[in-house]
Structures are given as structure tokens and as C-alpha cells.
């Protein structure tokens, strides 16, 4: 019994990772991974929203008419995101300024719809909650890995702090240059592909 409850949280962290395995939420993985800070904030927000939305949908899953289920899911997600964003604006204005466009991006994140449709529509609220947390964290981990490399190699910093010493740079007489390609969305795709490659070489048992 206990093991069954742990599963929905642990599974998406590794074996059934939303990005590496289900290939969901790639769009935002490209958009917000130039620096680590927005990547962490985005990962956190998605985790919270996907967990809450999973619970709400799971609670009303038996009443939702099959023909309009996607619309109902979308309404629930959009309402939750809007309420959270209003609260952020009222109580932690700085954070809401930081999030700016990302909060809107959450609504369109494929992971949300994917989890609601694939999990919350069939499972109990508590399991759905764990599934939401797990998928959110699984998504956040990949975002953080990708943004780590992009920020380090693209801007020579991590979380906004300079890591590469200034006097290494060509401008200051050194022999090092930031890799401009790291700043481009295409590099995020390549890095995501590398992550998936490593992930599959480790987990030989998955397809």
C-alpha cells in the first residue's frame, strides 16, 4: 500500500520523466533556460500548478462530460494560474515581476494537459497530487540541468554570479570567449537531446 502511494511521485522523476521520456513541455524548456534563475522559478511554478490542477480535476473527474473534458481542464488550469498570479501581484510583487511572461506560459504547458488527461482523469486526488508534484519536479530537474550548462557556457555565470574570471576573456587579454550559440534556443534543443541520450543510456530497460 505504502509503495503504491510513493510510485506516482518517484516514477516521473526518472523512469517516466515528462521531458526525457514523455517529451512534453519542450517549448518552455527552450524559452526559459538561458539563465538558471528563471528556470528554477518556472520549474517551481509548474510544480505547484500541476499538482493543484491534478487535485481539482481528480475531484470532479466523475462528473466531467467526456465530450468537453479538454475545455473543462483548460478552464480549471487557466483559473488556477490567474488566481495564483493575482495573489503574487498582491503579496509578492517582486516575484510576479520576475515571472512576468512565464506565468502565462504555464497555461499552455503541455505537461499540464498531459497529466490531467492521462492521470488525474482516472486516479484518486491524493495520487494525482503526488503525480503532479513528481512531474513538476521531473520537469524542473531537466530545466535546471539545461540552464546550468547554458548559463555557465553562454554567460560565464551561475544564478547571476560570475564564475569565469574576468581576466580570462579575450577582451581583457585572456583566451576565453562565451559561447554565443548557448544563448540561442537551438542549443537548448541540442542539450535536451543530450540529456535524453544520457538518460536512455543509463536506463537501458526503457524503450
Question: By the criterion CB under 8 A, which residues form the site for another protein?
Answer: 32, 34-35, 37-38, 63-68, 71-72, 75-76, 79, 82-83, 86-87, 89-91, 93, 97, 100-101, 151, 154-155, 180, 183
* Angle of CA points 29, 124, 142, to nearest 5°: 15
Nearer to another protein, 2 or 91 (CB): 91
Nearer to another protein, 103 or 130 (CB): 103
Is-contact 100 33, C-beta < 8 A? no
Nearer to another protein, 11 or 117 (CB): 117
Instruction: Collapse the DSSP code of 20 into the 3-class scheme (helix H, G, I; strand E, B; otherwise coil) and give the result.
Output: coil
List of residues 6+ apart from 108 with CB closer than 8 A: 27
Nearer to another protein, 134 or 154 (CB): 154
Is-contact 38 102, C-beta < 8 A? yes
| The three grid cell numbers given for residue 148, joined into one nine-digit string | 546550468
Amino acid at each position: 500500500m505504502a509503495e503504491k502511494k510513493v510510485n506516482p511521485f518517484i516514477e516521473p522523476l526518472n523512469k517516466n520523466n515528462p521531458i526525457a521520456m514523455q517529451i512534453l513541455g519542450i517549448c518552455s524548456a527552450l524559452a526559459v533556460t538561458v539563465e538558471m534563475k528563471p528556470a528554477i522559478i518556472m520549474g517551481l511554478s509548474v510544480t505547484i500548478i500541476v499538482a493543484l490542477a491534478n487535485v481539482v480535476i481528480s475531484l470532479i473527474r466523475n462528473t466531467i462530460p467526456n465530450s468537453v473534458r479538454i475545455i473543462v481542464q483548460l478552464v480549471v488550469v487557466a483559473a488556477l494560474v490567474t488566481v495564483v498570479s493575482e495573489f503574487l501581484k498582491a503579496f509578492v510583487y517582486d516575484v510576479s515581476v520576475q515571472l512576468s511572461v512565464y506565468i502565462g506560459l504555464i497555461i499552455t504547458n503541455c505537461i499540464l494537459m498531459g497529466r490531467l488527461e492521462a492521470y488525474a482523469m482516472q486516479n484518486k486526488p491524493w495520487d494525482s497530487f503526488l503525480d503532479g508534484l513528481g512531474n513538476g519536479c521531473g520537469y524542473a530537474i531537466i530545466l535546471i540541468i539545461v540552464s546550468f550548462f547554458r548559463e555557465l557556457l553562454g554567460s560565464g555565470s551561475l544564478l547571476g554570479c560570475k564564475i569565469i574570471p574576468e581576466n580570462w576573456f579575450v577582451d581583457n587579454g585572456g583566451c576565453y570567449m562565451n559561447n554565443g550559440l548557448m544563448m540561442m534556443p537551438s542549443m537548448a534543443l541540442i542539450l535536451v537531446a543530450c540529456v535524453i541520450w544520457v538518460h536512455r543510456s543509463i536506463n537501458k530497460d526503457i524503450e
